[in-house]
Structure 1
Amino acid sequence: MKKTIQITIALLFSSLTLLGQTKESKRADTYFNNLSYISAAKEYKKLAKENPTEHVLKRLGDSYYFNAIMQEASSAYAELFKKHPVQTPEYIFKYAQTLRSIGKFKDSKQWMEKFHSAKKQDARGVNFTSKEAVLSEIKDNKPYYTVTNLKGVNTEFSDFGVTEYNNTIIFSSPQKLNRFVKRTHTKDETRFLDLFQVAINKIDSSANVASFSDEINKKFHESSVAFSPDQKTIYFTRNNFNNGVYKKDKNGINKLKIYKAELVEGKWKNIRELPFCSDEYSVGHPSVSKDGKRLYFVSDMPGSIGGTDIYYTEIKEDGSFGYIQNLGIAINTEGKEMFPFISDDDILYFSSDGHFGIGALDVFASKKDDKGFYTTPINLKAPINSKLDDFAFSMNPITKKGFLSSNREGGVGSDDIYSIAQIKELELTKPPCMQIVLGVVRDKNSQKPLSGARVVLKDSEGMILKDTLVGVLGQFNITLPCNKSYSVVATKEYYQQDALVFVTTEASNLNLNLNLEMSNDFTYNERGELIIRINPIYFDYNKSNIRIDASTQLDHIVRIMNKYPKLVIRSSSHTDARGKDTYNEALSDKRAKSTVEYIISKGINPIRITGKGFGERQLTNNCVDNNKHTNRVKCTKDQHQENRRTEFVVIKK
């Protein structure tokens, strides 16, 4: 895809790898990281002539690749492998894809076989090298559809993504600038996307095209819309831009989000982002099922199988959303799955570069069965698919007509909209038996979800099928074949691991619970505070100096803090009940500070430890004694000694 559409897609799988950056490449890298791929390619091309480093050649190829300039991308990758032959499997895959896109199918197959050898479990390599992958069958054999360019609507810009709405079509395009503000996305002067509308019976002329909604079309990108069945709720993709605030992730990238709005008195109002969107990953390309109960979308959220995956969530009657579920390995690959469209007859159409196809992104179809699983996707063949990118497919099962977007050769602009007509029924097969495995990782003590826990799933032969970090709800999911054995291990810093062995069945779902117990380095005190596990640190009566037995335990604290370099603790010191309250408070504070000074003297950063005295306010036993001695409990020396202690409470992990 070129120009504007590539920006929308790049935001769904953007990367800021700066390995190999030099002073000379800084300007080009800045363009690249800002998604200004045309300007970046010009700079990298100059650098490649003078000093073709690995970094420069990778970025040169990627600048062309992300902009779908496949001939130049292929040449850059060829030079990369010539001068720097040892490369990661991902660059082998990219090179194979560029060769396929320029028609060098034999060479592409050879490089795809190298990719498969380097990464045997990657579904892309399996799909592209299997015996069933026959190019002639999808390239030249009995097409399913006819395809016609909508020259009356298409412009020199990037026009794509048709959705039918009230006898009109809505699509995305940067064809018109805001009348008051010059709005461009990059220094390439790529214009921002807006939503446009035209009556279906007037798509023969661009004169009939009008802006869809001033409430929806704002300062940055808007694209890819879907509607509720009553057409009173719209879902659309937009940059992370809320109430005039333009937000970026930790790497400085502005991500995409899905927003919804309600039709009120002819105006789209109450615009708000969906609750599962994030500043740290992109969510986009919505599609709603016929009954309005399921929303499909694309995301690169943590836990995705590939660069971008297709997910879905249930839309509840009150407008809230259910559990986010990945469509699983039948649909998603380690590559990019994008632009889902769920038709009224429950056929899922989507674009992918991970399933066997003709070009870069091809369109595929899969049928949902009674259990909610999908058939093995079939390629929609030529002329739907071409050597370049084909995407944003939609189909009306009653009229057998629909729309397609593509940047294939012979178009009017960068990306064009095509009308399509079905002339042959799809040959969809019954899906294999699969089971959705849903898991939650929790703290064993509190039963709260453990955000950021690592989950590794393996098959019976020890092959890793999933290696991911769970989100804020501690959840993970994966779709697996029925009646097979697997193992799953959950780990997290400060915790002991938990592992399960399980066998999938023919039931729809299998629920797993992984409970992580705190590491033996830690425990909880009687107040439920997390503390470092040590033997008691005692002080002599009326003293604050560190005893020899105490120094041994404090050295253990130092070892723990070196083991966990992000740990921040508080030295909480306590006295027995004898003596005045104010005196005990001051004495315990001295004891806390003496332990802090000792630990800092061993090389621990002072910002990682504080000290506080609690006097006699938190006794461990019933040895009370107030200032007037009206409640004194007679205790032994050893019982009073139990209260003269210091604990190290974890403040921050």
Structure 2
Amino acid sequence: MNKKITLLFLFVIAVSFGQRKAIADKYYNEYSYKKSAELYEKIFNKGDDSYEVLSRLGDSYYYNSDFTASEKWYKELFKRHEAITNSEYIFKYAQSLKSNGKIEESDKWLLKLKAKNKYNSSVRSLQDNLNYFVEYTQKKKVFVSINNLSINTKYSDFGGFVFNDDFYFASTKPDGVNDKRLYKWNNQPHLNIYKAKEIFKIKEKVLDVEEQVKVASVSSKYHESNAIITSNGNIMYFTRTNFDGKKLKGGDDEVAHLKIYKTDKIDGEWGNAIELPFNNDNYSVGHPALSVDEKVLYFVSDMPNGFGLTDVYKVNILDNNTFSTPENLGKNINTEGREMFPFIDSEGTLYFASDGHLGLGALDIFEAKKERDIYTKPVNLGAPINGAYDDFSFIINNKRNNGFFSSNRKKGKGDDDIYSFIVYKCKEDVSGVVYEAKTNKPLNNVTVKLISEEGVIVAEKTTNKDGSYSFELVECEKNFTVTASKNDYKKDEKTAKTLDVNKQLITQNLQLVPLIIENQIVINPIYFDFDKHNIRNDAAKELAHIVSVMENHPKMIIKIESHTDSRGKKEYNRSLSDRRAKSTKEYIVSKGILSSRIQSAIGYGEGQLLNDCYDDKLNKCSKEEHQKNRRSYFYILKK
């Protein structure tokens, strides 16, 4: 009797347990991830650690961007079922780790996809650039004044499109109409489209929006989002859940997918919305974007035969409100993961969000330039636009140098928030005057170069009559070298560091020392090692000026005189100075100057001292006084 009672009790538990799992599966298949996560966790705590429960538990948190929880459950999945776990979960686990700041561990797991023969875009990019994380987080300053908009709520606010001064976005915040109808994915109200006014807060130096109102004429009981408007203001495209005005319509999988709708403005109001002909009940089509000429409509879809979970497509907008067959943008843009939220700026650049291209975690924003009707390899925008969590829905106004993007990054106000940014356009001028060092008079026709830290000539100018030069619109926060050169003068150079103040003037004056003074080519003293006459490196640099002057004046003839101080025997000093003079001549000739252009090279020893440091005062003179007598002269005999 006791055995029968026990068996009956176990049967009741099994039925109850099976019912609970069936309910969890139902919520999961309906994308009700908040509820499915709660139920699967209870099932796991009751002892079911199966592959299905653990994978779906991890997914339920992953798809709601709770990466701490998804990491925990994917880790449990690999701990118990790694041998049968497919590559999809390796990727999701790697993404969860990265979003939680565990970069090295994430990269190790991502590279495991090689063993699965899954050379996806992230793996290839990682192999090509193992230093990507530093590169992406230390990007050149482009986007500044990142601002969490004042309209953001504790709910999901995202998207963005600017028409004139109006900013269109989507939000799940309660609107007093359908507040009780919650979207099962995240237990929030359904999305509605709102319109607000762009403002620039001068004091805070940030872009913001205000005066938001719901666009009621395109609202339904379910989702509307991603509104865009043609330049004439007469047509709106937007995304809506497949709703026929009475009920949701499901496909073969009994799931209501997304569709793109179009509405025309009639008498100042948006009319009835009609769905576009390439929509389909069995897959989603959404996130519309227009080309610059508004003849091409871009969108996102998970239609069959794509490259990944969702891809970016395009259709040509034809006459009579017809459209061409959808065309996939190809594997250069689309990956095995998700590509979403396309946007085309005024220069034809494509921006989109992706978790398939190598990034900083979850969805990152990328840009792809268009060349000959083909988009180039996407480039990660890097920080501060991208971070560890989802970053998406990027738009930019090239004329106003600002824009918006959405993110569920930490320290936001809600689930998803909208952020504004300013494009960093800091430019400064570098200018100055070039003087002659001896007379302090301005020098004209001097070549002035602005050289970057990498040694690249950024700009080149010639000084005006008043000796002035100016380099306009130089990048801020850079180190440069300014060089000035002119025939028969020693080159001068100085560093110039631009600041972080727009339209700042950086002044850098330079001086050129003349090489020809009266009947001499004048250089700094050339030195020789004790008792030696070979040309040292420092002497070679000075003699280069002699070579330069003689090259500038092909008919010039000179003579060389060398002198010593009074220390040592007179005959020895004469011989030493003569060897040094002739060594100097030989060096100049070795640089291409004809020997016949140097009439003589003679050493005079201590015979022509410039001070009183004669033999009787030898020990009374300082080193500096003796050094003054050790010199060479380069006299010009014929110009």
TM range (shorter): 0.5 to 0.7
How does 1:609-648 map onto structure 2 within 5 Å? none
CA 1:181–1:159: 2 relative to 1, 3 Å: closer
Match of 1:400 in 2: 401
Q: How big is each residue's C-alpha offset from its partner over 1:133-180, in whole Å with a ceiling of 9 and x where there is no partner?
A: 621000123232125233411111110001102311010001123437
Question: Which stretch of structure 1 is more off in the superposition, 201-210 or 47-56?
Answer: 201-210
Q: Is the 8 A contact 2:168 2:195 kept in 1?
A: yes
Mapped to 2, the partners of 1:38 and 1:180 lie a distance apart of 20
CA 1:70–1:424: 2 relative to 1, 3 Å: farther
CA drift of 1:25 comes to 1.2
Partner SS for 2:300:
strand
Match of 1:26 in 2: 22
Amino acid in the other structure paired with 2:42 = K
Q: How big is each residue's C-alpha offset from its partner over 1:479-533, in whole Å with a ceiling of 9 and x where there is no partner?
A: xxxxxxxxxxxxxxxxxxxxxxxxxxxxxxxxxxxxxxxxxxxxxxxxxxxxxxx
Is it true that 1:186 corresponds to 2:184 in the alignment?
yes
Q: Structure 1: where are the runs of 5+ without partners?
A: 1-20, 426-653
CA drift of 1:309 comes to 0.2
Q: Is the 8 A contact 1:146 1:422 kept in 2?
A: yes
Mapped to 2, the partners of 1:188 and 1:367 lie a distance apart of 35
Match of 1:157 in 2: 155
Amino acid in the other structure paired with 1:405 = S
Partner SS for 1:84:
helix
Mapped to 2, the partners of 1:187 and 1:75 lie a distance apart of 20
Partner SS for 1:40:
helix
Amino acid in the other structure paired with 2:44 = A
CA 1:169–1:206: 2 relative to 1, 3 Å: closer
Mapped to 1, the partners of 2:255 and 2:67 lie a distance apart of 25
Is it true that 1:343 corresponds to 2:345 in the alignment?
yes
Mapped to 2, the partners of 1:209 and 1:423 lie a distance apart of 28
Is it true that 1:100 corresponds to 2:98 in the alignment?
yes
Mapped to 2, the partners of 1:385 and 1:282 lie a distance apart of 26
Report the identity percentage.
40
Mapped to 1, the partners of 2:98 and 2:190 lie a distance apart of 30
Question: Which stretch of structure 1 is more off in the superposition, 293-302 or 143-152?
Answer: 143-152
Match of 1:413 in 2: 414
Mapped to 1, the partners of 2:308 and 2:425 lie a distance apart of 32
Query: How many residues in Structure 1 have an aligned counterpart in Structure 2?
Result: 403
Match of 1:391 in 2: 392
Name which one, 1 or 2, has greater alpha-carbon Rg: 2
Partner SS for 1:286:
strand
Q: How big is each residue's C-alpha offset from its partner over 1:94-122, in whole Å with a ceiling of 9 and x where there is no partner?
A: 11110111010011011001013313442
Mapped to 2, the partners of 1:164 and 1:386 lie a distance apart of 24
Mapped to 2, the partners of 1:133 and 1:117 lie a distance apart of 22
Amino acid in the other structure paired with 2:224 = E
Amino acid in the other structure paired with 1:65 = Y
Mapped to 1, the partners of 2:139 and 2:187 lie a distance apart of 41
CA drift of 1:245 comes to 3.5
Mapped to 1, the partners of 2:312 and 2:354 lie a distance apart of 10
Q: Is the 8 A contact 1:48 1:56 kept in 2?
A: yes
CA drift of 1:317 comes to 3.4
Q: Is the 8 A contact 2:361 2:387 kept in 1?
A: yes
Partner SS for 1:26:
helix
CA drift of 1:38 comes to 1.3
Amino acid in the other structure paired with 1:60 = L
Amino acid in the other structure paired with 1:51 = D
Is it true that 1:127 corresponds to 2:102 in the alignment?
no
Mapped to 2, the partners of 1:343 and 1:326 lie a distance apart of 20
TM (norm. structure 2) is 0.61
Match of 1:230 among 215, 229, 232: 232
Amino acid in the other structure paired with 1:80 = L
Match of 2:35 among 35, 39, 64: 39
TM (norm. structure 1) is 0.60
Mapped to 2, the partners of 1:152 and 1:188 lie a distance apart of 23
Q: How big is each residue's C-alpha offset from its partner over 1:186-229, in whole Å with a ceiling of 9 and x where there is no partner?
A: 296410000111111289888721112x2201110000111222
Match of 1:503 in 2: none
Amino acid in the other structure paired with 1:116 = K
How does 1:193-342 map onto structure 2 within 5 Å? 193-201=191-199, 208-212=211-215, 214-342=216-344
Q: Is the 8 A contact 1:41 1:60 kept in 2?
A: yes
Is it true that 1:71 corresponds to 2:59 in the alignment?
no
Is it true that 1:81 corresponds to 2:84 in the alignment?
no
Amino acid in the other structure paired with 1:279 = D
CA 1:181–1:110: 2 relative to 1, 3 Å: closer
CA 1:132–1:107: 2 relative to 1, 3 Å: closer
CA 1:276–1:147: 2 relative to 1, 3 Å: farther
Mapped to 2, the partners of 1:130 and 1:110 lie a distance apart of 15
Amino acid in the other structure paired with 2:266 = V
Question: Which stretch of structure 1 is more off in the superposition, 123-132 or 278-287?
Answer: 123-132
Mapped to 2, the partners of 1:71 and 1:218 lie a distance apart of 35
CA drift of 1:22 comes to 4.7
Mapped to 2, the partners of 1:188 and 1:284 lie a distance apart of 19
Q: How big is each residue's C-alpha offset from its partner over 1:331-373, in whole Å with a ceiling of 9 and x where there is no partner?
A: 0001110000011110000000011110100000001112x10
Partner SS for 1:242:
coil
CA 1:190–1:292: 2 relative to 1, 3 Å: same
Q: Is the 8 A contact 2:96 2:362 kept in 1?
A: yes
Mapped to 2, the partners of 1:35 and 1:174 lie a distance apart of 17
CA drift of 1:183 comes to 2.5
CA 1:147–1:62: 2 relative to 1, 3 Å: farther
Amino acid in the other structure paired with 2:30 = N
Mapped to 1, the partners of 2:138 and 2:114 lie a distance apart of 26
Mapped to 2, the partners of 1:302 and 1:147 lie a distance apart of 41
Partner SS for 2:371:
coil
Q: Whose relative contact order is higher, 1 or 2, with alpha carbons under 8 Å and at least 6 apart?
A: 1
